Structure 1
Amino acid sequence: MYSKLVPLNIPSGWAIIHNAFGDEDPLIRDGGIVNFHFYNEDLLLIKPITLEGTSSTVDQQGYTFKLGWFPHGNPHGCYRLTLWKGEAEGAVFQYESRERQTIRRVIERCFQLMMNGVHADQIETEIQADAKSLEKNHRIFSGTRKRIFDNKKFVEKKNRLTYSQVGFYWPVYYEVSNIICLEPKSNKVRDDMITSDNKKL
């Protein structure tokens, strides 16, 4: 239905019943979210399925993932991911975040834990233990910290991209990293001679 959906890695044995988990920032106007179809209380529903030959049926007694934005269309709201067991009244697990990529990582981590045999009752403990890495911001400019020196004296740290974040051919990666650090390099060629900074050891 929607062209801009958050990509999810769903293992076999599960089916996406409903998906409006949009990969789009909220458009706010007059105190509300205009693109509320991506920010409502019914965004994603994932259920287990049972394969029977060439057909499949939804396992109503299995675990169910539900995702929504609460309150509906509210710019101050957040995503709420809930894991239910069958038709039970209470949720087995619940996780909230305003970052959709964090929610994506939590969903995929839940599936990974289930495939490794972790019981659903223990998932919350495992997710809390992984909270820091799951909440990590993976934007391209949030790379590693590079130590900056002036006359061999430590000055400050600045962000530097990691190779895995950009996937560039290494000379391009090196140049981009130094441009982002806004640090002039001293290893320049002078009078067709290689300076001491460029000499091979």
Structure 2
Amino acid sequence: MSQSTPPSQPPAEPSGPPAGGAPAPQPVAGNPYAQQPTAGNPFAGGQPGFASGQPGFAPAPPPAPRPGNVALGIVAAVVAAVVTAAVYGTIIGKTEYEIGYAAVGVGFLIGFAAGKLGGGNPALPIVSAVLSLGAVYAGQLVGFAVFGADETGIPVMTFLTEHFGLLTDAWQEEADVMTYLFLAIGAAAAFSGAKKAAG
């Protein structure tokens, strides 16, 4: 046989002042368990700022720019410029087309390498943009060399070393608005890539 438990009774309210003569704390309207601050108790009201809905702490300051090694960032950008120029030139030589997305990729990789290793130095985006101009231009020359090597059987390195003047003359004859546009978008991508990598 189970025994029935008596119904729970609400807590009895204090009938008089507590010992010592201090006034009894008064219940807050709507909540019989929350009590108003008692006079003379500096901790009864909670921490300043919380009761009024204001935050108790000031927001954290924004993080400082990530430090880095500027020289290492420049070296990384130079290496990226050499590698991407070779890849970009091979694509141009094999397809016989200048591809805008490839120029963007050249610039972005150069800038990203500089910003990732060099940090937030404000000179790195500018250096990256200049290196990107050189890389896209060099890639276009490599493209002429790759195309010439396929047509004549002369090695690419021979074109680049012994017939470099011929390559630059061919570039000047073939350059048009799109050629210079690719140079510009590559530089812009490098500048942006360095900013994003350092952020």
Coarse TM-score class (shorter-chain normalised): under 0.3
Q: TM-score under structure 2 normalisation?
A: 0.25
Return the index of the structure with the highest Cα Rg: 2
Q: TM-score under structure 1 normalisation?
A: 0.25
